[in-house]
Structures are given as structure tokens and as C-alpha cells.
Chains A and B, each alone.
Chain A
Amino acid sequence: MNEQTQAVAEAKPKKIASSAARFEKQIEEVLGKSFDVVIYRFKTVLEEAVIIYIDGMVNKDLVDRDIIKPLKLQDFNGDVNLTFKIPFIKADTFDKVLTSILDGNAVVYYNKSVYSMDVKMFEKRGVETPPGEEVNRGPKEGFTENIGTNMSMLRRKLKTTNLIFEKIVIGKQSNTVIVLTYLDNIVNRDVLDQVREKLKKINTDAILETGYLEQYLEEKPFSLFSGIGLSQKPDVVAMRLLNGKVAIMCDGTPHVLTIPELFIETIHTSEEYYSRTIQANITRFLKILALALSILTPGVAVAIITFHQEMLPFTFLITLIQATQGTPLTEASELFFLAIMFELLKEAGLRMPKIIGASITIVGGLVLGETAMRAGIVGAPSVIFVAIASVASLAVTNLNEFGIVYRFIFLFLGSIMGILGISVGIVIMLTQLVSTEAFGIPILATFNKEEVKDSFIRYPLKEIEFRPSTVVKYNLRRSRLKNEKGESIL
């Protein structure tokens, strides 16, 4: 464990030394062992000054031009207000001084006072399109690892005084800046208070990603739904803030949490709001179809094939028998085998560098699908069923873990109990969904008259006049289609 940062975190309130030399020593005691900390004591026309900053986190040009140079001028008269060319704040305790330095500020000691100046500049990734959330229509920009950039992106979308960024620092070692974001006039206060309470109670070493927070915030770690949404795009987060949600940003990661997230929202994409109504509804229908296919296909297939052959069309039954005639495994084990292999392939393709990933997919697809079939290990129909489920599951990537778990549950139930097992599985699944709550809001709560306009279907945008009332408790109206007299405005 790093002793210096340990010292920073656990130091008792300490007074600032009264001379430049002693201040320098004071700092060196704590930060001196790290060679990236620059401590520079120099003379001015009046008294000595010390400047401390961390190499690589500040803009050295600014430090030279706006801090050191003015101090060294011959006509320096001791008035720092006139001397420093950039805004500064006074740090009154030693702790604050240290935090300020570690945050990436430049700190100047002059005449028994410490001035902290924000001259941060460090290497960061530019604004790019986040993979996995690409859209044809709509903004392409995504959040970055820098929280300042992220906040500015949101600010640009929602230019209102109601947009609040609350800062909370979590992590004994990391001192990570967490920003609680919400629209003051729309947000659900209950959820906001719960989230804030929970965040403040977190006592841990470090928060390296919002994934840490997600796991600290969620109520049931083994539930398939955390009730917490995830996005890397400012327009999506802005849209969710407008629906009364709380967003949590974390310095150092582009992933932003939004709370609460209802079930149906996991299959929505921002593009569905940007495109026209029919297009949006087609997309939604396909997504729901994909969800059903990805979960049910292998299970229903094995149920029908091994229990209810009379349900199969005659021609297909003949083809099926012919295809599986020489294979050693049962239909159920074939499907299990292929489904597991597919998950393996997906994982391998994801972790590999892009070029190798592509070849892994080709080799895996060819070897497993074609060759296994030709070698007589699996029958062609099983490959098709697993392929259907797999392709469908890629269309609803947000529900990945839900999809995998239930695909195997249905496969298991279908192979021991047939269609009856599938019905049992559906009951189990619905029971679980119905009983899951996200911060006090049932995740299936989308079925009242107003909210159904934006659920499985999407009404024309101008007809969605209200925000979802399960989340938003006041300031419900979003838009107005008719004036007081009942006449259409548009």
C-alpha cells in the first residue's frame, strides 16, 4: 500500500507552516517520495514562494506564464490578487492543500497563505462513438473518461438551471469524484434520496468504474435485473433525466448509470425516438421478437422435437429424423453443447484483438457448425435453432445476462418436461419479473394508459404528452397537443 496516500487519507487536521522553507519541508514529508511531485521554492522581490504540482497533470505553460513569471517580476508588490492571472482559491488547512495537489491543481505558498489554482491538463481520450451504442440517426458522440468533459456534454444538451450536478467523493484510496446528476424540477425525490443515502454510506478503497457503484447500489445481487440502466451517450442520459431519473457519473469511466431502469426500457434505443413512428415501431417489434426468440428457441425446439412430434409438420419431421439419424447425442444434449459453445465463441471473440476476433468467429462458426454437422456429431436442425437464438440475442445485448440464464433454464425445462416445462418456465420468469423492484418502482410498471404510449409500441411523439408517471411524481406534462379550448395546436 502506498504510504503517502495512506498518510493523506488519514492525516489529522494540520496547520499550514508559517514559512516557505518549512512549508516545503512539510510537503516533502508527505509527498517527497514520489518523483512526479514537483516542489519548487524560489525567491520573489519580497518573500520566498513555493509552488507544488504533479508533473503530467498540469499545463506547464500556464504555470510558467501565469503563476511563476508574474511572481518573479521586479515590480511584484505582494498583492497576489493582481499577480496571478488565473482564478484561485485559498486553502486554509493542510489537508485541503494535499487534496488540491492530488486533484491536479497547482498550489502556491506565499506569505503564509496557500493558493490553489486549476491548471489541470492531462492526456485524455477524445470524444468518440461508443461501441455498442452506434446509431444511424442521432448524435454520435459518447462520454469520455474525463468527468469535466462529460458534464459539459450534458450541460450542452440541457441548458437549464434545473440541471444539478452534485459532487460526492468516494473511496479512501481513490478519492473518486462521483457526480449525482438530475433535473431538479422533474426528478423522483424518493429515488434521489435513496441513491444519495446509499452513495454516502459506501465505505471502500476505490471506485474505479460505475460498475462498482452499480453493485453497491443494487438491492439483490443475484437478481437478473439491477434496476439500473447504463449508457455512454449524453443524448440518452439527457433523455432519461427528462424522464425523472437520476444519473450517476464517475470520474474515469464513460459509463453513466441511470436510476431507475424499467424492464421495457432495456430494449429501447435512442434511435427509436429520432426516427419516424412506423420505423420506431418496427424496431420495437423486432426487438421484442428477438427477445422471445433468444430466450425460447432452443427450449421450445427441444420440447417439441422430443415430446410433441405430432406438432411438427410431416415434411419437417422427416427432414429432422434424416438429419439426426447418425448422430450419437440426444437432441437436448446437442442443443446444450451448441449453446455453450456459442457463448464461448462470443466471449472469445470479445476478448480477442479485433483481427483475431474476426478469425475466431469464422473458425468457430465453420468448425463448430459445419464440421461438427458433417462429422455427424450434431444434427443440422440443432445448429439452426442455436443460431436463431444467438442472432436474436445479439439484437438485445442489454438483456444479455437475462437472455443467457433463461435460455438455459428453458432448455433444461423443455428437455425434461416438454411444453409443460416451457409453461412452468414462463411462470417462473414472469413471477420473477413482476416481483422485481428498482428503488421502490416495479420494473414491469409500464402498463397504464399514458405509459403504454411509449412501451412495446411508440405513439407519434407529439401524442406522448406525459412523462412516465411510475417514475415522475410531479411536473408530469412533457408537451401539449391541445390548448385550453381543446383545439389542436399543431
Chain B
Amino acid sequence: MIKKRLWIVVMIIIMLVATMSGRWSRQEPKNLAIGIAYLYEKTDEGIYSITAEIVHLSGTNESGAATGGQSGSLSIIRNFKGPTVSETVRDTEVKVEKVFFGSQNRVRFFSEELAREDGILDILDFFVRDHIADERPYLFVVKNEKPTDIFEADLGGSARLGEHIHHIAGKRQDTVLTTTFVNTLKFVREYYCEGMQPVISVVEAKETEAAYKTPGMEDEPKKTELVFEGLGVMKGAKLVGLLSEREAMTYTLLREDIKGAHTSIPVGEKEIGVKLSNSRPKIKTSYENGRVKINIDLKLKLSVSENETEYDVSQYRDIKILENIANNHFRKEIESTIAKIQREYKSDIFGFGMHFHVQQKHDLWESIKEEWDDKYFAEADITVKVDSKIVFSGETREKFGVNAR
């Protein structure tokens, strides 16, 4: 009786082991080469060139020195080449003795040339198809002439480029107005969404004068630093244009949830600094005589953080004046940016088409969706209404120094 049941249990285990399609990719962690940042380029001969930042581990068994100590580099930069992405991966197998591990990848860079000319579709296909590569890494277009310069930049407190970007993007997502951090999942989602075009984050290694030398470090001070400003406008999987810092604000105000981003509003000659929070705008669409009309109703909450002007933010009258100034400021910014995108890039990154699709008849959308970006979005009449509210004037009321003794 016991033997019979034991047999049944053993048989069940063997059947489970044999038939269930588990992950057979057993891998000891010590044999892994962890890539945390990859730069994708295409050479003039049409060959993919992938530059990877691999975590360098010194191989000590001292559990205390987990960070690897001060001396020595914490990451290795390696370059691999191949006619396709997967053949480039094959190239890694003969150049690195460890197995490449992509699941902890933090960031994917594309050269501007690659993004503009070939698009990133083939590379994305590889990411989505591969079982190890996942959807968390952020996507960036590198503005530099020589994209590998980003690996040379000063990273502030971080040790590795991948981690640096991961931390900045993770923590600053909702407090930055001038850019937005797009991860692979967001990109893929927007790419597949009807009536919307994706955007991509932009990074540039810019020369800096403030090259501080860290005490105790032997290395030469780095001459460049990373700047995250603006956005890349995509059309499909190809880059069609870059937005400046000010233009990117329009995108973040209309598409992101901002909580307490610092910005300033010009008031005459002077400025008033505010912390800004938004709520997703109400977008109303209509269709008349072959033209699309789009009404944007944006609500903003402002909290005064600095007041250079003579207005007294404790007074209702002054608050109303300031609110009006803010409304006009943001309305103008938004209108001019949208107009520029309509005129130059013809790519609906704001997802107006999605709202149109939802609000209008399905047949109508079906009939115009092919031409949405190039014709209907580009020629749409867009009206913007901004409703700002100053909800908090900070810890004090009048401008500092006013009514002093």
C-alpha cells in the first residue's frame, strides 16, 4: 500500500518535471555578466554596434566590501558588432567569458542617427521577443555627435551610468517638467495605441566648466555631465524631431501627472517661482466639415515658492491677477508648442486621436485614422484653456522685507 502510493508520488513528480515547460535557464549568479546600460548604433556599413556597460566585480569574497571599494572602475565598457541584434549578442559570447544577463538592464540608448534613419523597430522586436530582456529599461536618444561620449560623463554620486539614470528617472518622474522618462513598456504601449505617437527621452553629455575633483580619487576630473532636457518626437518607430526644454513642458503638462514641479512664470520684468501640480486635462473633440476641433481644458494647482514681484500673494485681488498671468503664460506655451508639432512634425504625441476615437463614432475614426497624423491632426483647430489656482503661498504671506520695522 505504502509502496504503491510512493510510486504514484514519484511518477507524478517525474511527469511534472518532464512535461511542464518551466524555465530551464538555470544559471549560477557568479557566472553572470550584468549589463546595465546599452548603446545601440549603426555603423556606416549598416552593421549594428552595441556598446554595453557591464558591472565590474572585483571578485573578492569579503562581504563587507560590497561596493567594490574606491579604487578601480566599477563598470566595464565593451563594444560588440554584428549585422543583426541577435548576431551582435552572439558576438558577446566569444568576447565575454560570462553569460550576458539583461534582466537588470536599466537603460537603452540609441544614437540620434539610428533613431532618425533606421528607426528602433528591429531592436524593439528583439527586446519584446527575448525572454530575458524586459520592459523596465528607459529609452533614450543620445544627442551627441559621438554617442559613446555619454559613458565618459561625470555621474554625480553614482558609480555606474545605468544606475545613475535609473535613480534619476525613478525619483524625478513626477517633479520634472522639462522632460519625461520613457521606459520600454510606456513606449510600446504608446506605439500600439491608436491615435497616439510615442515620445522618447533625450540625453546629452554636455561640456561643463565645473569639473570638481573628488578628494582622494586618482582619476582625472570628468569634463562632461549628463543633461536631460527636451523630448524626442517619434512617428512610429522613427525619430522625427527634438523638442526643447520649454516645448517638452507642454507634453508633460498634457500627458503626465506632475506633483510639485518647480517652474517660474514671468511677470513683467520679474518672475514668480511656483511648485506646480496638474490634473489630467479634459480634452473635447468635435468634427465639422472635414476639420477636427480640439478643446483642451487644463487645471493647474500652483504653490508659490518664490516671489520676486510686488504682488502680495496673501491678497485675493493679487492672487487673481497672478492666476491670470499664469493662465496666459501656460496657454501661450502650450498653443505655440502644439502649433509647432502640427506644422513641423505632424505627429500626435498628445494622444488627441485617442480621445477623438473614444468620443466620435467608430466608423468616422476608421475612415480617417490612416490620415490622422498627417492631415487631421496637423490641420486641427486647437483651443487651450488653462485654469490655474494658487492654493498655497508658502510659509509666509507678504514678500520678505515688506512692512519691515
Chain A interface (Cβ < 8 Å from any Cβ of B): 220, 222, 305-310, 314, 317-327, 330-331, 373-374, 376, 379-380, 416-418, 420-421, 424, 428
Q: Is the CB of A420 within 8 A of B28?
A: no
A-B contact sample (4 more), CB < 8 A, given A307-B23, A325-B30:
A307-B26, A309-B29, A309-B32, A420-B22
Tell yes or no: B16 within 8 A of A by CB. yes
Q: Is the CB of A310 within 8 A of B29?
A: no
Question: Which residues of B sit under 8 angstroms from A416, Cβ to Cβ?
Answer: 17, 26
Q: Is the CB of A309 within 8 A of B20?
A: no
**Known: A305-B29, A317-B104, A327-B30. Is A322-B16 also a contact (CB below 8 A)?**
no
Shortest CB–CB separation between residue B157 and chain A, in angstroms?
15
Q: Is the CB of B29 within 8 A of A324?
A: yes
**Known: A310-B134, A314-B163, A327-B30. Is A380-B60 also a contact (CB below 8 A)?**
no
Q: Quick one: which of A310, A318, A323, A421 contacts B61, CB cutoff 8 A?
A: A323
Determine chain B's interface SS by DSSP, over half rule.
loop
Question: Which chain B residues (221-235) contact chain A, with CB distance < 8 Å?
Answer: none
Q: Quick one: which of B9, B65, B101 contacts A309, CB cutoff 8 A?
A: B101
Question: Which residues of B sit under 8 angstroms from A424, Cβ to Cβ?
Answer: 13, 16, 20
Q: Is the CB of B104 within 8 A of A326?
A: no
Shortest CB–CB separation between residue A222 and chain B, in angstroms?
6
Q: Is the CB of A380 within 8 A of B26?
A: no
8 contacts across the A-B interface (CB closer than 8 A)? A307-B23, A310-B103, A310-B104, A314-B166, A319-B63, A323-B66, A325-B61, A420-B20
Q: By CB atoms of chain A within 10 A, which of B20, B22, B57 has the most?
A: B22
Shortest CB–CB separation between residue B71 and chain A, in angstroms?
15
Tell yes or no: B58 within 8 A of A by CB. yes
Question: Which residues of B sit under 8 angstroms from A330, Cβ to Cβ?
Answer: 28
Tell yes or no: B27 within 8 A of A by CB. yes
Shortest CB–CB separation between residue B332 and chain A, in angstroms?
43
Shortest CB–CB separation between residue B169 and chain A, in angstroms?
14
Question: Which residues of A sit under 8 angstroms from B29, Cβ to Cβ?
Answer: 305-306, 309, 317, 320-321, 324, 331
Tell yes or no: B182 within 8 A of A by CB. no
Cα A320 to Cα B63 with chains together (Å) = 9
Cα A309 to Cα B132 with chains together (Å) = 10
Cα A380 to Cα B65 with chains together (Å) = 12
Cα A140 to Cα B17 with chains together (Å) = 51
**Known: A327-B30, A417-B22. Is A318-B132 also a contact (CB below 8 A)?**
no
Tell yes or no: B55 within 8 A of A by CB. yes
Task: List 10 tightest A-B contacts by C-beta distance, closest first.
Answer: A310-B103, A420-B22, A380-B63, A325-B59, A319-B66, A326-B61, A324-B30, A321-B29, A417-B22, A322-B57
Cα A152 to Cα B57 with chains together (Å) = 69
Shortest CB–CB separation between residue A379 and chain B, in angstroms?
7
Cα A220 to Cα B6 with chains together (Å) = 13
Q: Is the CB of A314 within 8 A of B104?
A: yes
Question: Which residues of B sit under 8 angstroms from A379, Cβ to Cβ?
Answer: 61
Question: Which residues of A sit under 8 angstroms from B2, Cβ to Cβ?
Answer: 220, 222
Q: Is the CB of A317 within 8 A of B34?
A: yes
Cα A331 to Cα B32 with chains together (Å) = 13
Q: Quick one: which of A310, A318, A324, A418 contacts B26, CB cutoff 8 A?
A: A418
Cα A408 to Cα B9 with chains together (Å) = 16
Q: Quick one: which of B22, B57, B103, B106 contacts A321, CB cutoff 8 A?
A: B57
Cα A331 to Cα B57 with chains together (Å) = 18
Question: Which residues of A sit under 8 angstroms from B101, Cβ to Cβ?
Answer: 309
Cα A428 to Cα B32 with chains together (Å) = 33
Interface string of B93-118 (1 = CB under 8 A from A): 00000000101101000000000000
Question: Which residues of A sit under 8 angstroms from B20, Cβ to Cβ?
Answer: 417, 420, 424
Cα A326 to Cα B61 with chains together (Å) = 6
Q: Quick one: which of B16, B28, B63, B66 contacts A306, CB cutoff 8 A?
A: B28
Shortest CB–CB separation between residue A58 and chain B, in angstroms?
48
Q: By CB atoms of chain B within 10 A, which of A306, A308, A318 has the most?
A: A318
Question: Which residues of B sit under 8 angstroms from A309, Cβ to Cβ?
Answer: 27, 29, 32, 101, 103-104
Tell yes or no: B25 within 8 A of A by CB. yes
Interface string of B209-223 (1 = CB under 8 A from A): 000000000000000
Cα A326 to Cα B28 with chains together (Å) = 12
Interface string of B1-35 (1 = CB under 8 A from A): 01000000100010011001011011111101010
Shortest CB–CB separation between residue A243 and chain B, in angstroms?
31
Cα A417 to Cα B14 with chains together (Å) = 12
Q: Is the CB of B27 within 8 A of A323?
A: no
Tell yes or no: B68 within 8 A of A by CB. yes
Q: Is the CB of B26 within 8 A of A325?
A: no
Q: Quick one: which of A222, A308, A326, A428 contacts B60, CB cutoff 8 A?
A: A326
Interface string of B249-273 (1 = CB under 8 A from A): 0000000000000000000000000
**Known: A307-B25, A310-B134, A326-B60. Is A321-B30 also a contact (CB below 8 A)?**
yes
- Taking CB as reference atom, which chain A residue is nearest B20? A420
Cα A321 to Cα B60 with chains together (Å) = 10
Question: Which residues of A sit under 8 angstroms from B166, Cβ to Cβ?
Answer: 314
Cα A320 to Cα B134 with chains together (Å) = 21
Question: Which residues of B sit under 8 angstroms from A320, Cβ to Cβ?
Answer: 29
Cα A322 to Cα B64 with chains together (Å) = 10
**Known: A306-B29, A307-B25, A318-B66. Is A325-B57 also a contact (CB below 8 A)?**
yes
- Taking CB as reference atom, which chain B residue is nearest A416? B17
Cα A420 to Cα B22 with chains together (Å) = 6
Q: Is the CB of A421 within 8 A of B22?
A: yes
- Taking CB as reference atom, which chain A residue is nearest B65? A322
Cα A153 to Cα B341 with chains together (Å) = 90
Cα A323 to Cα B57 with chains together (Å) = 10
Question: Which residues of B sit under 8 angstroms from A305, Cβ to Cβ?
Answer: 29
Q: Is the CB of A376 within 8 A of B163?
A: no
Q: Is the CB of A376 within 8 A of B61?
A: yes
**Known: A309-B32, A330-B28, A416-B17. Is A322-B58 also a contact (CB below 8 A)?**
yes
Question: Which residues of A sit under 8 angstroms from B65, Cβ to Cβ?
Answer: 322
Question: Which residues of B sit under 8 angstroms from A314, Cβ to Cβ?
Answer: 36, 104, 106, 163, 166
Cα A222 to Cα B22 with chains together (Å) = 30
